[in-house]
């Protein structure tokens, strides 16, 4: 993997859950890195490590010397509550040139810097669960120690699982409320549409197929058209027509206002949880044996 004259030879994952696997899958499938350039460890689930090794050809180890020697970047993908105790177990291996990439929800860059107890380059990433199908919407924030080359490297890594954007860290709570939690909002809508379609006499599979294609089409229209979502909606909403009848019910129940409040509340809760978690992680318990 080359970026700005720098080649990434070794990427380390601390944690081997669903997000780590989604990233490993995207990185290897796109050819950004080969499996033999990737090292993975976790707390104690050897069966999971064996599965990743067989499926993606990655290296696995519980030996920190093996993991961190000549590593260019480490992705923190353990449970957020375990972050401080985990970082303490390997902080002696952290150095100025090693890029730390965190996908830990609610764990601030300042918290990682504090626990590391040394100057480190930190990228904080907020992907979503659609990374599993290479359709994530990911936001990346950086501390000042991250170089332009490292920014490009981090973007390339997350581009393998979808769309990537750079933001300021203080915008990540909004991102969490919007796209981090966003897939669940659309699943919620799909649930309601599918239920109503079945009640109207459609078969479940047909209803699902129609809904999926309708969502894809609407997303493509918003992406490719120069018109605003409001303009597109009004074009479909003929006076006295079926769409207007449906929209009138949504307006009656203030659905648009409800979704706006939904995103804002999720963002506020993200901020609240982040503060509580950061406070807790700055006073960690005994280090974990990963």
Domain ranges of the chain: 9-167, 181-253
The pair of three-digit structure tokens given for residue 182, joined into one six-digit string: 């966003």
pLDDT of residue 283: 66
User: 14 Cβ partners below 8 Å, 6+ apart?
Assistant: 41, 42, 74, 75, 76, 77, 78, 86, 90, 290
The fold for domain 9-167 equals: Rossmann fold (3.40.50)
**What pLDDT, in 10s, does the model give residues 211-236?**
999 999 999 999 999 999 999 999 99
**What pLDDT, in 10s, does the model give residues 71-118?**
999 999 999 888 888 898 999 999 989 999 999 998 999 999 999 999
pLDDT-above-70 percentage for the chain: 94
pLDDT of residue 78: 93
Q: pTM of the predicted model, to two decimals?
A: 0.90
Helix (H) or strand (E) holding 76: strand 73-76
pLDDT of residue 280: 76
Q: Work out the pLDDT band at 288, boundaries 50, 70, 90.
A: very low
For the chain, first and last CA: distance in Å?
A: 28
Q: Work out the pLDDT band at 136, boundaries 50, 70, 90.
A: very high
pLDDT of residue 4: 47
pLDDT of residue 289: 47
Residue 185 has pLDDT above 70, yes or no: yes
**What pLDDT, in 10s, does the model give residues 232-282?**
999 999 999 999 999 999 999 999 999 999 999 999 999 998 888 888 776
CA distance 98 to 11: 10
Neighbours of 266 (CB within 10 A): 20
Residue count of the chain: 290
CATH homologous superfamily for the domain 181-253:
ProC C-terminal domain-like (1.10.3730.10)
Q: Indicate the average pLDDT of the chain.
A: 93
pLDDT of residue 154: 97
Residue 166 has pLDDT above 50, yes or no: yes
Q: What is the mean pLDDT of residues 163-179?
A: 97
pLDDT of residue 2: 55
pLDDT of residue 3: 52
CA distance 273 to 269: 6
pLDDT-above-90 percentage for the chain: 84
Among 139, 144, 145, which Cα is nearest to 124's? 139
Q: What is the mean pLDDT of residues 14-34?
A: 96
Q: Work out the pLDDT band at 290, boundaries 50, 70, 90.
A: very low
CB 165 within 8 A of CB 141: no
Q: How far is CA 256 from the centre of its chain?
A: 25
């Amino acid at each position: 993997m080359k970026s700005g004259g720098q080649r990434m030879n070794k990427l380390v994952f601390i944690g081997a859950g669903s997000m780590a696997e989604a990233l490993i899958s995207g990185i290897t499938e796109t050819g950004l890195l080969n499996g033999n350039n990737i090292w993975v460890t976790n707390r104690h689930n050897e069966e999971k490590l064996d599965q990743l090794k067989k499926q993606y050809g990655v290296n696995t180890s519980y030996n920190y010397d093996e993991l961190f020697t000549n590593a260019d970047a480490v992705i923190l993908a353990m449970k957020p509550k375990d972050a401080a105790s985990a970082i303490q177990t390997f902080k002696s291996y952290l150095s100025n040139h090693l890029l730390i990439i965190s996908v830990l929800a609610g764990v601030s860059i300042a918290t990682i810097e504090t626990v590391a107890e040394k100057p480190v380059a930190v990228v904080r990433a907020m992907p979503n669960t659609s990374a599993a199908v290479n359709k994530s919407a990911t936001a990346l924030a950086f501390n000042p120690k991250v170089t332009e080359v490292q920014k490009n490297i981090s973007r390339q890594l997350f581009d393998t699982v979808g769309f990537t954007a750079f933001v300021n860290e203080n915008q990540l709570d909004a991102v969490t409320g919007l796209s981090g939690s966003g897939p669940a909002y659309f699943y919620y809508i799909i649930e309601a549409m599918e239920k109503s379609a079945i009640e109207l006499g459609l078969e479940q599979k047909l209803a699902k197929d129609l809904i999926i294609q309708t969502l894809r089409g609407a997303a493509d229209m918003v992406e490719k058209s120069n018109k605003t979502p409001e303009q597109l909606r009004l074009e479909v909403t003929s006076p006295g027509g079926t769409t207007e009848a449906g929209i009138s019910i949504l307006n009656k129940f203030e659905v648009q206002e409800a979704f706006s409040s939904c995103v804002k509340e999720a963002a506020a809760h993200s901020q609240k949880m982040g503060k509580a978690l950061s406070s807790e992680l700055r006073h960690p318990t005994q280090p974990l044996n990963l």
